Amino acid sequence: MSFASSASGWFDEAGNLVEPAVAAALLANRRVAWVVADQALRITSVVDAGGLLGATWNWPGAALLDVLPELVGSERELAAVLAGRPDPLHIDFLELADCDARSVYVRLTVAAGNAEAARALFCIFEDMTDLGISRQRLTQSRNELLLAQRSLADTILDLQASNAELRRLTDMKSVFVSVAAHELRTPLAVISSYADLLAQGLVGELNDRQLQSLGIIREGAERLLRITANLLDMARIEAGRLELVLQVLDAGALVASVVEEQRPFFEQASQDLSLAVEPSLPLALIDEVRATQIVVNLLSNACKYTPGGGAIRVTLSRLADCRELLLTVSDTGVGIAPEDQPQIGSWLFRAKSANEISAKGVGLGLYITRSLVELHGGRFWFDSTAGAGSVFHVTFLAADAEGEN
Ligand code: ADP
């Protein structure tokens, strides 16, 4: 509801006369007040039923610009309004102290009209404290947001710097690892081949004790060669320089040939090794050397982490959607404790169970295996029960699935 005044009283929107007492109550309730100023900008009367304007000033008789210094500088505008400019002058969120000395925000509207037969300025004050407080809170939140944004930007910069430093250190580590591994490989290869010559009796006959010692030397040299080869692969993977030569191949034949090659190690450990390849499998998209490495790694782990008398089962089948071939290597070995499982496959990690049986290893094989599988576009995962055995799963893309999707 709005209402207007005239010389003869107060009227509502429908033009009905409103009781002056009712009008005063409405004004007080809505916290509306006004003052009238003459052409010399001196206040001639004040209506403030709700106590909006406070008691600091003795308003009647005071100079308008003293009471409302916010209007200083707007004298030309005030003169224009007085002279009949139709647009009133508005100032929002003007801060005043009310009659209880509380801070209030008001909207000031300055319009002109006739009072006591002379042109006068009407300064109307409407309480907008709630809005003012919301606006203040909004400004505060905006400032807090700006601060948070600035600190986020600083954190991002710090993170980028740390990232760059980390990248630099990782690159340095990769370079160091590959240089060291390269340098170690030549003397190791020399040790290994001379040990072979000695073992074959090509530089003179050796007795049994000498041959036994030589066997230990050869084994150690071969193990070191395998470690250096793994370190080189790791450095290549980390630098993104390990590239596959993918071919369309019979994965069943590849797995079967690796199983037969590795069989002597299982026989030596009195383990039962079996293979089941599903008939009529599609060809797979694989790098022959790297896929062989994947199968060898899984088989040698199964052999290493399974006690004598255990069983290792290798299967190759097709997954239901025919897009992938699934290789599984299961064993009845030491298994992996649940708390170690999340870290299996991260580099240099070895599970407690591996240390418990003093199995040799450095924790690089599965990191490389997993990376090689992923480079093939396949997936790697495992299930394991401590003390009961593990099943490692690897998928390869079927060649005829290429280009689908
Ligand atoms: P390494 O065998 O040289 O330690 P790997 O990267 O091949 O390194 O394997 C990482 C760890 O995963 C091993 O140390 C071992 O704890 C665990 N692991 C791998 N294969 C098996 C398995 N078949 N049975 C139980 N634990 C395994």
pLDDT along the chain (405 residues), means of 10: 50 66 74 91 88 76 91 93 92 89 91 85 92 90 96 97 93 88 91 92 91 93 92 89 94 97 96 97 96 97 96 96 93 97 92 89 94 97 96 95 49
Out of 366, 371, 384, mutate this one to test ligand 1's pocket (max ligand atoms within 8 Å of CB): namely: 366
| Residue-wise pLDDT tens digits, 208-239 | 999 999 999 999 999 999 999 999 999 899 88
Q: Whose CA is nearest to atom 25 of ligand 1?
A: 335
Q: How far is the CA of 339 from the centre of ligand 1 (A)?
A: 14
Does ligand 1 come within 6 angstroms of the Cβ of 389? no
Q: Whose CA is nearest to atom 23 of ligand 1?
A: 302
Q: How far is the CA of 238 from the centre of ligand 1 (A)?
A: 20
Q: What are 284's strand-pairing partners?
A: 249, 398
Of ligand 1's listed atoms, the one at least distance from the Cα of 366 is 6
Of ligand 1's listed atoms, the one at least distance from the Cα of 302 is 23
pLDDT at residue 403, rounded to an integer: 47
pLDDT at residue 401, rounded to an integer: 60
Q: How far is the CA of 350 from the centre of ligand 1 (A)?
A: 6
pLDDT at residue 266, rounded to an integer: 97
Q: How far is the CA of 13 from the centre of ligand 1 (A)?
A: 88
Of ligand 1's listed atoms, the one at least distance from the Cα of 329 is 23
Does ligand 1 come within 6 angstroms of the Cβ of 172? no
Does ligand 1 come within 6 angstroms of the Cβ of 331? yes
Out of 227, 344, 367, mutate this one to test ligand 1's pocket (max ligand atoms within 8 Å of CB): namely: 344
| Residue-wise pLDDT tens digits, 1-57 | 444 555 455 566 666 666 777 777 777 777 899 999 999 999 998 888 888 887 656
Of ligand 1's listed atoms, the one at least distance from the Cα of 344 is 12
Does ligand 1 come within 6 angstroms of the Cβ of 334? yes
Of ligand 1's listed atoms, the one at least distance from the Cα of 347 is 6
pLDDT at residue 56, rounded to an integer: 57
